């Protein structure tokens, strides 16, 4: 079928049977012990990134082995990249296999969404149908426009974004169906409609925030003959720059999903498990993405780089950069854009952006600085001896690319991350409702209970 919903309707009953079979065969097998220290977040890593607690088929991270990697680091200074697979495919594979726009060479995020939802590489026609469908759903209610227009420009763009997404719940198909007494087995249908509406409406929300906060004038309307990234670029005022449009296609694709346990994806899943509709669930996810240890890191990286540039000038020596990095650590701050809760290698999303930069902006000064930092930070983090992963993550690179094309308003960067992450969370919410995922409710213990439980043992 050309329609994503029709294809999904064919896949859901098969997957329900598959899950049943896996549970029948393996359901009674033990999976992961927990140490008391881990409950308090010490020893190796916090318990949650080790505890098998979630199921999500859309994407999976391959951490590599931290011990092997650290041990061999001096012998192999640049670690091999793999890291993430979307439905079994690496980033280079999806770049090669997903449909492109006419004349373009980066994958269309429409195709990535089809892949996340179905596990299949879509045809050009299926992807074109998604572009058309999203363009048709793109308008946002007038009252949401008014909410955004009334926000003071000093309110962080991420707070405005979350307000607007939450308010979309006004027209939620799932919330209405639930009130009308929908049966559990039909939850996925209205969830799918909300998920599609959510993704479709984000460009208009993001565009309006950008225009309002940075005084960029009137929004153009959505062009139904263009793909999602082209429309988003046009709403931000960059529709005439084909290289920027290509960057957005790559950007949305690689930021879309990153396993089920990262703060934004997990928040969406958790809130969705209470049967809050996809708008409420994604509004909550955005509030998690807005934290500096998660999505806000792309803003933080740019602030950090700019400060470094203003202090050290355009072509700083390695010694000066090293000293600057050490001064960040000595001030009790993190080096933004480095480290990861799961990955133990250079983030392949970093590499994909570096390759884009090498192709389109090899002489950009800030890109060169980012490359210089990449050669210095890992050894410093290793010497400092705390971070388990000294390698760069996605956020170390994204802001430099956006800045190159003139999108240099750093406080807006996480909004673009938020547009992208909706693809993964939306796909996950559809499958959670299709497979009857349970209410998420981890058990908490008091310290007194731990003392009592382990006394004398
Ligand atoms: N600079 C300095 N210290 C770091 C560090 C960094 N980049 N990364 C980790 N550490 C420290 C960390 O603060 C912790 O210190 P304490 O023991 O004093 O608390 C210690 O090393 C162990 O941390 P970890 O186990 O290696 O990392 P976590 O799993 O706790 O946290 C991150 C992972 C990503 C939050 C952490 O590496 C970090 O703060 N990085 C900088 C912020 C950043 O770039 N975030 C974006 C992550 C990105 F992938 C995303 O979500 N978009």
In the predicted structure, residue 313 carries a pLDDT above the cut 50: yes
pLDDT tens digits, one per residue of 35-72: 777 777 654 456 677 778 889 999 998 765 443 344 33
Ligand 1 lined by 247 (C-beta under 6 Å): no
> Which residues participate in catalysis according to the annotation?
294, 340, 395
- Residue 437 confidence (pLDDT): 94
User: CA geometry: angle at 133 spanning 198 and 143, to 5°?
Assistant: 40
Report CA-CA distances (Å) from 211 to 206, 215, 244. Answer: 9, 5, 17
CA separation for the pair 79, 368 (Å, rounded): 20
Q: Check: CB of residue 310 under 8 Å from CB of residue 322.
A: no
Mutate to test the pocket of ligand 1, among 304, 327, 387, 424 (most ligand atoms within 8 A of CB): 387
Ligand 1 lined by 387 (C-beta under 6 Å): yes
In the predicted structure, residue 136 carries a pLDDT above the cut 50: yes
pLDDT tens digits, one per residue of 62-94: 765 443 344 334 433 444 446 899 999 999 999
Mean pLDDT of 144-160: 98
In the predicted structure, residue 370 carries a pLDDT above the cut 90: yes
More confident residue, 28 or 130: 130
Alpha carbon of 334 to ligand 1 centroid (Å): 7
How would DSSP label each residue in 13-58? HHHHHHHHHHHHHHTTS------HHHHTT-SSS-HHHHS------S
Q: Check: CB of residue 133 under 8 Å from CB of residue 200.
A: yes
CA separation for the pair 320, 324 (Å, rounded): 6
- Residue 41 confidence (pLDDT): 65
Closest CA to 391 of 413, 414, 372, 375: 375
Please tell me the residue having the least CA distance from ligand 1 atom 19: 386
pLDDT tens digits, one per residue of 350-361: 999 999 999 999
CA separation for the pair 297, 108 (Å, rounded): 25
Close Cβ partners of 126 (under 8 Å, ≥ 6 residues apart): 2, 4, 7, 114
CA separation for the pair 68, 81 (Å, rounded): 15
Which atom of ligand 1 is least distant from the CA of 338? 7
Axis crossing angle, helix 142-150 with helix 157-167, rounded to the nearest 10: 160
Axis crossing angle, helix 157-167 with helix 278-289, rounded to the nearest 10: 170
Alpha carbon of 166 to ligand 1 centroid (Å): 29
Enumerate the H helices of 98-183 as residue ranges.
109-118, 124-136, 142-150, 157-167, 173-179
Report CA-CA distances (Å) from 109 to 20, 114, 255, 341. Answer: 31, 9, 10, 25
Close Cβ partners of 306 (under 8 Å, ≥ 6 residues apart): none
What the block records as the tokens of 432 is 């959670």
């Amino acid at each position: 079928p050309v329609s994503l919903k029709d294809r999904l309707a064919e896949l859901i009953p098969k997957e329900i049977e598959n899950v049943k079979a896996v549970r029948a065969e393996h359901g009674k097998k033990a999976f992961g012990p927990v140490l008391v220290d881990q409950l308090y977040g010490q020893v190796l890593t916090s318990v949650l990134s080790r505890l098998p607690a979630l199921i999500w088929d859309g994407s999976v991270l391959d951490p590599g082995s931290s011990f092997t990697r650290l041990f061999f680091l001096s012998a192999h200074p640049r670690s091999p990249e793999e890291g993430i697979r979307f439905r079994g495919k690496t980033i280079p594979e999806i770049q090669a296999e997903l449909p492109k726009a006419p004349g373009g060479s980066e994958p269309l995020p429409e195709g990535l969404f089809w892949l996340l939802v179905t596990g299949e590489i879509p045809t050009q026609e299926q992807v074109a149908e998604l572009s058309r469908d999203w363009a048709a759903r793109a308008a946002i209610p007038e009252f949401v426009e008014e909410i955004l227009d009334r926000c003071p420009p000093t309110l962080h763009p991420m707070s405005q974004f979350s307000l607007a997404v939450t308010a979309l719940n006004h027209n939620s198909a799932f919330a209405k169906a639930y009130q009308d007494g929908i049966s559990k087995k039909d939850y996925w249908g209205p969830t799918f409609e909300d998920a599609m509406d959510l993704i479709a409406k984000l460009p208009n929300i993001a565009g309006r925030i950008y225009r309002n906060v940075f005084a960029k004038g009137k929004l153009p309307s959505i062009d139904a003959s263009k793909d999602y990234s082209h429309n988003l670029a046009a709403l931000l005022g960059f529709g005439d720059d084909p290289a920027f449009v290509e960057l957005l296609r790559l950007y949305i694709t690689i930021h879309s999903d990153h396993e089920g346990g990262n703060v934004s994806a997990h928040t969406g899943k958790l809130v969705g498990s209470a049967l809050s509709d996809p708008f409420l669930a994604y509004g909550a996810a955005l509030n998690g993405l807005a934290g500096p240890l998660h999505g806000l890191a792309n803003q933080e990286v740019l602030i950090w780089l700019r400060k470094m540039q203003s202090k050290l000038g355009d072509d700083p020596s390695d010694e000066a950069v090293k000293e600057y990095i050490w001064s960040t650590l000595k001030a009790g701050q993190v080096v933004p854009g480095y480290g990861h809760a799961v990955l133990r290698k250079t983030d392949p999303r970093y590499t994909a952006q570096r390759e884009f930069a090498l192709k389109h902006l090899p002489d950009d000064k800030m890109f060169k600085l980012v490359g210089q930092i990449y050669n210095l930070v890992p050894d410093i983090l290793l010497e400092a001896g705390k971070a388990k992963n000294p390698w760069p993550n996605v956020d170390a690179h994204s802001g430099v690319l956006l800045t190159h094309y003139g999108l240099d308003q750093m406080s807006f960067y996480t909004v673009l991350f938020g547009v992208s992450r909706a693809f993964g969370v939306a796909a996950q919410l559809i499958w959670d409702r299709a497979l009857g995922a349970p209410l998420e409710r981890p058990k908490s213990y008091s310290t007194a209970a731990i003392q009592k439980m382990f006394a004398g043992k």
